[in-house]
Structure 1
Amino acid sequence: MPRTVRIHAYGDASVLQLEDLEIAAPAADEVQIAVKAIGLNRAEVMFRSNQYLQQAEFPSRLGYEAAGRVQAWGSAVSGFAEGDAVSLIPPLDIARWGTYGEVINVPAYLTVKHPANLSFEQAAASWMQYVTAWGGLVEQARLGTGDFVLVTAASSSVGLAAFQVARKVGATAIAITRTRAKVQALLDAGAAQVIVSDEEDIVERVMALTDGQGARVVFDPVGGPAFEALTASMARGGILLEYGALSSEPTPFPLFTVLGKSLTLKGYLYNEIVSDPAALARAKAFIIEGLASGELKPIIARTFALDEIQQAHRYLEANQQVGKVVVTV
């Protein structure tokens, strides 16, 4: 029987259990995939440890991203053939279509025949990061030529994707990282400039890099005390997209900065794009073209085997990587 990762309780990485499970035939609107690679996301760590927006019903599957080959499909599905190389745009339910396994059933409308130049590992590492970055920066912030964007948590896969998306639309990405350890890796990954927040004044550096105008867009999954410096670094009429809450500290509301600069502060979720068919179609077109041309190229930090899923989660939680963690099957 195919092996599947499930959790039977919340906890640390040791709750991830690899089990032999029967896989049902795909539903009418589903595609069944023989998985070759799985992309890991911090959302899965949060789900596993009961810190996520969605609650588990035990025993629970988990996982958002995968790539592999089509081996069956439901009665309402067309356009696929056995053996097609495909990857999955993450669905809206982390458990129902959990991707951590050797065989999975997934929604057909989110199953993509990715460009042939991608490996399965790259394809499995693409969709969460690029849909998230495109949706925030292009669809919502209208990032374009001449704009500056501040990218925090810059060594994450979404942060790296943001550099590439910004460059593709003619904008300049400024990465913010805590220490100097990842500076060169961020520059190599496409950041135009890097600010080391433990050593440099964020506001002073941003103003120097932008000739005093500030950044029109901020892309931040952290929150916390740095929120004040980020808003102070923004251009008048700018927009800050908050797409996470990685900081455990309170996030202050910089009232007078927001008023004085007429800023827009927006909570942003990847779900906003996936649940909007028109926006999703625009995202797919932009990303497929970028992946095919090489303008968008996922950076993989490290790969693990499926039976190393616990180690893979521990590595992801250590936060030492630059890029995506991928599990091969």
Structure 2
Amino acid sequence: MKAVFISGHGDNAVVQIGERPKPARGHGDVLVRVMAASLNRVDLYMRDSGKGITHSLPHILGLDGAGIVEEVGPEEPLLTVGQRVVLHPGIGCGRCEFCQRGAGVLCTGIQYLGEHRDGTLAEFVSLPARNVFPMPASLNFEQAAALGVCHLTAWRMLFGKAQIQPWETVLIFGIGGGVSLAALQLAKLAGCKAIVTSRDAGKLQRALDLGADHAINGSTQDITREVMALTGGRGADVVIENVGQAVWSHALKSLVRGGRIVTCGATSGDQPPADLRRIFIRQLQIFGSTLGDLAELRDLLAFVERSALRPVICATYPMDEVHAALDALEAGSQFGKIAITIGPATPDAQ
């Protein structure tokens, strides 16, 4: 099968497009013909070093994906050949205490597609049936692929961790990235007021066009002062952030007393000042979050079926142009997800 894989670590020179063995479907697994995937920062990390992630070379990239069921065993009652599906990229062991309590995303032996095992930038992928979900009819393959990482991550942050309420104000840092945009879409559909930040005026305007209530330019405005002005001196109920050190102080200072901050990344550094006095005096709550459980993806997909949510796809590349797609992701100028078509490009679903 044709795939995108790394033969070493470094720059795009180690990213190959060529033939790899087609995976064999094991008992209880589903073989999926991948139609589309999207890029994530971890694809750059795996290309650059993959340090700390157990993997072998050559290694197929790609964390999320959507496609068509190619093969399924007779023991599987819910999936059929030809069905359009979305993939959950986290393969839990099924035996540890966390898997057994239904918290598979905390599994001590979890393996992720594109990290610990071959990923979705390939014509086929085989994975357990429990990780394969019917695809929302309202989406095309590129849009559906984007749900499995960024929207699932934002879903857990907003509803699983922060447990947002429709009367609350949510402050979202770094609008333009996949998780931040997903958080904006979900928060607005949940009835919340959304304040977004970026250092890019163009991204802020596009976020306003998508429904953000207020936008703050971090390069020309004091974020905390603006948040307080917009909330009558009260502060935001919830902060969603994946930037880390560069914005952490603003994030804490922008919260209302008893407010919640949920973090899922640290692209600008992971050692910010703790500001412990502020945390305990104002009784702030801090949550770490990564991806989401199988049940959370099920709930997200049901929500998509009942709403007008469509992931924002900023650019689509064929598999043969994956080097250009990786360059675009690394530049950080995208507004939304960068999709990779594995099969033919698909029109918007009706």
Could you say whether these structures have the same fold, taking a TM-score greater than 0.5 normalized by the shorter chain as the test?
Answer: yes
Question: 1:145 touches 1:171 (CA, 8 Å); kept in 2?
Answer: yes
Letter in 1 for 2:331: A
Matched, 1:172 2:172: no
Letter in 1 for 2:338: V
The structure-2 alpha-carbon separation of the partners of 1:52 and 1:184, relative to structure 1 and needing over 3 Å to count, comes to: farther
Q: What's 2:63 paired with? A: 64
Corresponding residue SS for 1:155:
coil
Q: What's 1:284 paired with? A: 298
What TM-score does the superposition give when structure 2 sets the normalisation length? 0.87
Letter in 2 for 1:224: Q
Q: What's 1:50 paired with? A: 49
Distance, in Å, in 1 between the alignment partners of 2:18 and 2:75 is 30
After superposition, the C-alpha distances for 1:95-119 in whole angstroms (9 at most, x for unaligned) are 4141111111122111111121211
Aligned length: 320
Letter in 1 for 2:306: S
Distance, in Å, in 2 between the alignment partners of 1:309 and 1:148 is 38
Q: What's 1:323 paired with? A: 336
Q: What's 2:81 paired with? A: 82
Unmatched 5+ stretches in structure 2: 91-110, 343-350
Letter in 1 for 2:196: A
The structure-2 alpha-carbon separation of the partners of 1:76 and 1:48, relative to structure 1 and needing over 3 Å to count, comes to: farther
Q: What's 2:173 paired with? A: 152
After superposition, the C-alpha distances for 1:167-213 in whole angstroms (9 at most, x for unaligned) are 12221121110131312111122322111011111111101111111
Matched, 1:40 2:39: yes
What TM-score does the superposition give when structure 1 sets the normalisation length? 0.92
Corresponding residue SS for 2:171:
strand
Distance, in Å, in 1 between the alignment partners of 2:59 and 2:48 is 12
Percent identity between the two aligned chains:
33
After superposition, the C-alpha distances for 1:105-153 in whole angstroms (9 at most, x for unaligned) are 1221111111212111111112212210110111111111211111112
Q: What's 1:98 paired with? A: 119
How far the C-alpha of 1:75 sits from its partner, in A, is 5.5
Corresponding residue SS for 2:338:
strand
After superposition, the C-alpha distances for 1:32-72 in whole angstroms (9 at most, x for unaligned) are 11111111111221222226652432222221111111111
Q: What's 2:10 paired with? A: 11
Distance, in Å, in 1 between the alignment partners of 2:326 and 2:82 is 30
The structure-2 alpha-carbon separation of the partners of 1:326 and 1:225, relative to structure 1 and needing over 3 Å to count, comes to: closer
Corresponding residue SS for 1:187:
helix
Q: What's 1:309 paired with? A: 322
Q: What's 2:217 paired with? A: 196
The structure-2 alpha-carbon separation of the partners of 1:282 and 1:103, relative to structure 1 and needing over 3 Å to count, comes to: closer
Report the more deviating stretch, 311-320 or 13-22: 13-22
Corresponding residue SS for 2:239:
strand
Distance, in Å, in 1 between the alignment partners of 2:74 and 2:24 is 11
Report the more deviating stretch, 308-317 or 68-77: 68-77
CA-atom RMSD in angstroms: 1.7
Q: What's 1:128 paired with? A: 149
Distance, in Å, in 1 between the alignment partners of 2:51 and 2:139 is 31
How far the C-alpha of 1:251 sits from its partner, in A, is 1.4
Distance, in Å, in 2 between the alignment partners of 1:196 and 1:5 is 37
How far the C-alpha of 1:260 sits from its partner, in A, is 2.2
Matched, 1:26 2:40: no
Corresponding residue SS for 1:247:
coil
Distance, in Å, in 1 between the alignment partners of 2:3 and 2:77 is 27
Distance, in Å, in 2 between the alignment partners of 1:249 and 1:135 is 21
Corresponding residue SS for 1:322:
coil
Runs of 4+ in structure 1 deviating by more than 4 angstroms, as ranges, are none
Question: 1:61 touches 1:95 (CA, 8 Å); kept in 2?
Answer: no
